[in-house]
Amino acid sequence: MSATQSTPGRDKSSRTATGGVGAQLLADLRRWAHEQRFALWVTFGLVVVNLCWWLWYAVQHKAAPYQALATTLGAFDLGRLLSSLVLTHNLFQLVVEAVLVLVVLCMAEPLMGAWRTVIASVASAVLGVFLGLLLCMGLSSLLGDVQLIYHIGFTLSPVMLVIGALMASTAFAYQLWRRRVRIVGYAAILVVLLYGGNPGDYCMLAAALIGQLLGRLMAGAPRERERWHWQRSSSREVRRIMGAIGMVLALGPVVAATSRTAAGPLTSLAWVLSPHSNDSAKLASCMHGEATVGCLREYALARVSMPGDVARSFLPLLVMIALAWGVYLGRRTAAIASIVFYAMSAVITLSYYRFMPTDGGSAWTVHGLLSCLINALIPLAYAIVLWVELSHFQIRTKTRTLRTSLVVMCCTLVACAAVYLVFGLVRPSDFSPRPGLGTLLAELPSRFLPVGFLTNTRMAFMPVTALASLVSQGVGVVFWAVLVVVSFAWLNASIDYDKKAHDTADALVEQGGESMSMMATWEGNEYWLSPTGRSAVAYRVLNRIALTTTGPFGDPEEWMGDLDEFARYCGNHSWSPVFYAIHEKQHDYLRQQGWHSIMVGEEMLIDPQAWKTTGKKWQDIRTAINKAKREGITDEFTTYAEASEDVQRQIEEISEQWSEGKALPEMKFTLGGVEELKDPRVPILLAIDADGTVQGVTSWLPTWRDGRIIGYTLDFMRYREGSYNGIMEFLIARMAQRMHDWGVEHPDQQVEYVSLSAAPLTGLDSYTDARSDDDSNIDGTTMLQHALALVADLLEPAYGFKSLYNFKMKFQPSERPVFISYPDSAMLANIGLAIVRAYLPTLTVKQALGMLKDFKPKKPAK
């Protein structure tokens, strides 16, 4: 490490650029424009073509013939259809389409190159038109809607020109990016298809599928083994994908409401922007039972002509957007609310098609049955998947906030229903025909349901005064408006920890701590603060066990007193305190107080000032370093925030690849992931080859004393599948060498140790060699030792703790025992379960049973 190079996590040095920030931003913009010149020129051409087209008709004082772009299957015109690939109907569509085209090409062209992008775009668009229209006609023939589909005017979209290129580019991308684009992309296409039903939407789907096939043919086999399973993603990735799908589902009804064709299975909202108006005389005849033919159409038009009813249809979309964003952020409340919301949508849909009258008198035609299934199954499937993956949503809203919100919603619903019923009974003459109590009760659900669920149902009465219209339309609007406010309030509500305490703990860890104290700042911990506020303990309550994340941190003078004070605090809350991963000094103090303890691991420390790799014992390390040189691999010491976007993306891909290779979920507690290495105080050491590909990544948790970093602890340690054997040895050796060089160049800032941390639950070689720490608790402590050692053996095939232990021994470290200390042997069973739950919070019963099924106890050595 050079004398001028700063250590990440120590100081935040300011960066100045010649000419100031403005000049630097302009230079960045010019560089980006040069790199994306293909996408920019294509987008510019699209805009110019449309502007020239509009200008041509403007000069002639004529309106642009938008209808000339549309064709029908019955009177098919290929010229018109292909023209709609580059021409848009209005300025709003041009802006939206141009932005989408630019974004897609900026994603696809860097991966495939310009010529491959052009070939994939044109080929998928041309083939997609023909295959998509064949698919549309085939499904219409199957459902008996041929006459309807043949007379629908439709156009294509400029996005169709590039959607195939986007899907083709995924074949050139890494697995994480490939999966995200495909899942979210196809979800969006299918929602547009199901809600809009334009024959051009079938072409879009076909173009995407053809593009994906072309990409595979051009790229060959994927870079990594396709071993992804939807239940084996990391919690972060599950949250992202489920949130993105929820957002697509939320925006689907907007497609239905603005669709020009309204031929999809989910087009109940298509009447909202219908150009037709209702016939008031006809409507009156229908409600008085004097007519039957065409009444449902008049009911639908009457409903969508009421501003309050239209607002009641769009407010639920805001609720869905809020819930989707909450799911994306990992909020458990949002996930549960989404499950309830979409499950209720499915139930209401089934009731709607089963009990409500339709034009044909029965919903159970082939088309009606298919519409019912699609309308019900899509939200139900989303709710079921969210339920299965609920364990990944661990960010909780405070119970008091939830309780208050639910009370507000219930009270609002009751109050709105009461206002509507009382008004109808007191002033029945404000409606026509005059309703009775039974009629009012029958119409009550329709005051709160979106219009989309009511377009094929009859109306019992209509308001004839302004006040009656305000009441009948307003009660539903008020309820949904409150629900919108509550939904967004959940996103801003304080989560289930004290943010002020977390910020205090974040500051205290920089005042003083031990090798693993930085883990106390991670998500999932709660905090006990000492009476002076100069020290703290991080913990989480599981099974009535207050399990700490290492020992106290902050002012070292208070640590021993904190052990007693925290135990007293737990007693006041009826919890049993358990200090996990503490070192000898604290362990000895607690043992003097009568606590029991178990050694759960050996922390391995390297002295950077004595670092060297000479001698026979270091042969493996020297080999790894020399091999890295031959492979053209260098190490880069930085932070996640300072790394380029490409490097950040590769780190996430490597992590996700690692998670998917495990039959069991990602471990937590004292094992960090991508979210934890994003802390700007945490440096990362990367192994990067000559092509800029990240082959391996490690993160190093800093330890402070009096505000100065005195050590680094290895946390995140993952490598790309297919990287050379020895990449981790190279990175750890380089970290030790860097800290050695830093100490030589800066004697007053020497790093005292580089910790390789301790593999969890490796304090015992086997469950067969456990022993008690004293004679007073032989049965209990030995039982817990047996249980933890058994868990370690069970998890070994999936996580390789003991293999990791043996790997770290290559660096000839000094060993320091790590203990778990507890006061109450009666809580041993709960302690064991709490530890397993802390490390595997998303473990399912099925996974646990599978783990037990594959476990075979090792025979004791003779």
Domain end, chosen from 451, 470, 496, is at 496
Residue 372 scores a pLDDT above 70? no
Q: Are 155 and 303 within one domain?
A: no
Does 454 reside within a domain?
A: yes
Question: Strands 683-688, 694-705: parallel, antiparallel or unpaired by DSSP?
Answer: antiparallel
Tell me which of 256 and 615 has the higher pLDDT: 615
Instruction: Give residue 790's pLDDT.
Output: 56
Q: Based on the number of CB atoms within 10 Å of its own CB, is 261 exposed (0-12), middle (13-18) or buried (19 or more)? A: buried
Q: Are 218 and 327 within one domain?
A: no
Q: Are 179 and 272 within one domain?
A: no
Does 414 reside within a domain?
A: yes
Phi–psi pair at 492, nearest 5 degrees: -95, -5
Domain end, chosen from 438, 466, 496, is at 496
Does 852 reside within a domain?
A: no
Q: Are 350 and 283 within one domain?
A: yes
Arithmetic mean of pLDDT, 159-171: 89
Residue 17 scores a pLDDT above 50? no
pLDDT over 70, % of the chain: 69
Instruction: Give residue 236's pLDDT.
Output: 66
Q: Are 190 and 283 within one domain?
A: no
Q: Are 331 and 408 within one domain?
A: yes
Arithmetic mean of pLDDT, 719-740: 88
Does 806 reside within a domain?
A: no
- Which residues does 825 contact at the CB level (< 8 Å), separation at least 6? 596, 777, 780, 781
Highest averaged pLDDT of the listed ranges 425-434, 700-709, 839-848, 850-859? 700-709
Tens digits of residue pLDDT in 82-112: 777 888 877 877 888 888 899 889 888 888 8
Does 727 reside within a domain?
A: no
Q: Taking CA 147 as the corner, what is the angle to CA 144 and CA 152, rounded to the nearest 5 degrees? A: 120
What does the radius of gyration of the chain's CA atoms come to, in whole angstroms? 32
Tell me which of 722 and 404 has the higher pLDDT: 404
Residue 553 scores a pLDDT above 90? yes
Q: By the 8 A CB rule, do 334 and 491 touch?
A: yes
Tell me which of 609 and 256 has the higher pLDDT: 609
Least confident of 100-104, 290-294, 365-369, 548-552: 290-294
Q: Are 328 and 452 within one domain?
A: yes
pLDDT band at 861 (very low <50, low <70, confident <90, very high): very low
Does 468 reside within a domain?
A: yes
Instruction: Give residue 559's pLDDT.
Output: 93
pLDDT band at 494 (very low <50, low <70, confident <90, very high): low
Does 789 reside within a domain?
A: no
Tell me which of 674 and 300 has the higher pLDDT: 674
Mean pLDDT computed over every residue of the chain: 76
Q: Taking CA 701 as the corner, what is the angle to CA 696 and CA 703, rounded to the nearest 5 degrees? A: 150
Arithmetic mean of pLDDT, 733-739: 92
| Tally of structural domains, the chain | 2
pLDDT band at 286 (very low <50, low <70, confident <90, very high): low
Structural domain of residue 159, as residue ranges?
Answer: 26-228
d(CA 276, CA 298): 10
Six token digits for residue 217: 């043919």
Cα-based distances in Å from 841 to 83, 669, 792, 833: 55, 9, 16, 11
Q: Are 201 and 282 within one domain?
A: no
Residue among 860, 542, 839 at smallest CA distance from 851 = 839
CA atoms within 13 A on the CB side of 658: 21
Q: Are 201 and 280 within one domain?
A: no
pLDDT over 90, % of the chain: 15
Residue 145 scores a pLDDT above 70? no
Q: Are 41 and 143 within one domain?
A: yes
Arithmetic mean of pLDDT, 816-825: 83
Q: Taking CA 224 as the corner, what is the angle to CA 222 and CA 804, rounded to the nearest 5 degrees? A: 175
Instruction: Give residue 18's pLDDT.
Output: 46
d(CA 179, CA 189): 15
Q: Are 38 and 156 within one domain?
A: yes
- Pinpoint the alpha helices (H) of 573-725: 584-592, 619-630, 645-660, 674-677
Does 396 reside within a domain?
A: yes
Least confident of 387-391, 435-439, 460-464, 541-545: 460-464
Whole-structure pTM value: 0.57
pLDDT band at 561 (very low <50, low <70, confident <90, very high): very high
Tell me which of 767 and 226 has the higher pLDDT: 226
Q: Are 196 and 285 within one domain?
A: no
Domain end, chosen from 496, 511, 538, is at 496
Q: Is the previous residue joined to 433 through a cis bond, with omega within 30 degrees of 0?
A: yes
Cα-based distances in Å from 107 to 149, 170, 207, 660, 691: 35, 9, 17, 25, 19
